[in-house]
Structure 1
Amino acid sequence: MSRPSSAAHPASGPWPLLVLGSTSRYRRELLERLRLPFVVASPEVDEQPLPGESPAELALRLALAKAEAVAALMAVREPGRDVVVIGSDQVAELDGEPIGKPGTHERAVAQLRRMSGRSVVFHTAVSVVRPDRGLRHTVIVPVQVRFRELGDAEIETYLRLDRPYDCAGSAKCETLGISLLAAIESDDPTALIGLPLIATSRLLREAGVDPLQMLATTGEARP
């Protein structure tokens, strides 16, 4: 089931219930920056890639699948309630292959050694679904990340300090991982962390949920 965000409570009045279809604390913290009332629900989606599916195609498909899965869940939990669901997924790509979350220290070491001195593309997709209006919009935001040449000692030091084992690519750019990088190229600066807020805000407006209007009418627009 869903649970309230730590930042806000579900919207009341004419606004739909906003739902983040993700258990990622990084995405929750990013969405909280918009100061919108929302709840969080866990999508039940098989994240295995399909045969021949590119990393970008995988991210797009999973973002929409997560949003639709949570929309179906909310239809059961909150029948008749107008909801807007945000789904997102990120897949890193190197040499045309997806790079997942390492999960362990050893896999993180192997990932960073492989990416040392090279460019990796992080495909971050976001989908906004509003079933009552038949709206389903999905976009993808690519981020090109160039790693500097990394030695084994600094890889080991970084991993012991930041422990980024739940992050694709084994680096947290919002913390110490930025020291591993030579450059980041993107039109949407939060995309690399996991939720492109420029694209998300645009899709929300297209779905009839303007963040600034919502804050003004729910009494959340305060200093």
Structure 2
Amino acid sequence: MVLSPAVPHGRALVLGSTSVYRRELLTRLRLPFAVEPPHVDESPLAGETPEQLARRLAAAKAAAVARLHPAAIVIGSDQVADLDGEPLGKPGNHPNAVAQLQRMSGRTVIFQTALTVMCQETGFAQHDLAPVRVRFRTLDEAEIEAYLRAEQPYDCAGSARSEGAGIALLDAIESDDPTALVGLPLIRTCRMLRAAGLRVF
């Protein structure tokens, strides 16, 4: 984790994300917050590992929104599925989702969920990573098709919507921050918001 000085109390909170999943997760904390799309190019760089990609995009999203709201505390997050060092992003459509799930069948995938909290006005910034190890069952074609028809997880990294029917595709999940798999590690988020001077409770 990279640390900077704490931010004073009383600042607005902004989630830099277009994800409905992150918005729903942050709502659990019962804090007032605004949502601002970050408008960041999410294309991986040549030779970039999934962890590096997730960290870079989380920081870029937070920085893009912090420029628009320099006095606010801004949250940026990104998730990349890591299959033996290869990044798997959002499939975007049905054929891509089928291909992703076929490749992940019977294998362990690390979902790299990166988090940045920052305030441009004060120079506060913290960055962290919450990796989640997910072991997929061996999946047949009928299971994959039925799951995709039911969930249509085309906006989820690795086509895995674990908070829905996707949980039935899995054998095991290993994580110290369980909501990281859905897209926002709330334990780390609370820790970083407290460091920023924002009371959660």
- Classify the TM-score, shorter chain: over 0.9
Structure 1 gap segments, 5+ residues each = 1-13, 76-81, 213-223
Query: Greater relative contact order (Cα 8 A, min sep 6): structure 1 or 2?
Result: 2
Partner residue, 1:41: 36
Q: Does 1:133 align with 2:122?
A: yes
Q: Secondary structure at the match of 2:75?
A: strand
How is 1:62-141 mapped onto 2 (pairs within 5 angstroms)?
62-75=57-70, 82-141=71-130
Task: Give the superposition deviation at 1:210.
Answer: 2.0
Deviations 1:113-163 (A, max 9, x none): 111000000000110001222111100000000000101111111111111
Number of matched pairs: 193
Matched residue type, 1:65: A
Partner residue, 2:54: 59
Residue 186 of structure 1: which of 166, 171, 175 is its match? 175
Question: After TM superposition, where is structure 1 displaced by more than 2 Å over at least 4 residues in a row?
Answer: none
Task: Give the superposition deviation at 1:191.
Answer: 0.1
RMSD: 0.9
Residue 204 of structure 1: which of 187, 193, 199 is its match? 193
Task: Give the superposition deviation at 1:95.
Answer: 1.9
How is 1:157-176 mapped onto 2 (pairs within 5 angstroms)?
157-176=146-165
**Distance of 1:153 and 1:52 partners within structure 2:** 35
Matched residue type, 2:161: K
Larger Rg belongs to: 1
Structure 2 gap segments, 5+ residues each = 1-8
**Distance of 2:21 and 2:29 partners within structure 1:** 14
Task: Give the superposition deviation at 1:49.
Answer: 1.4
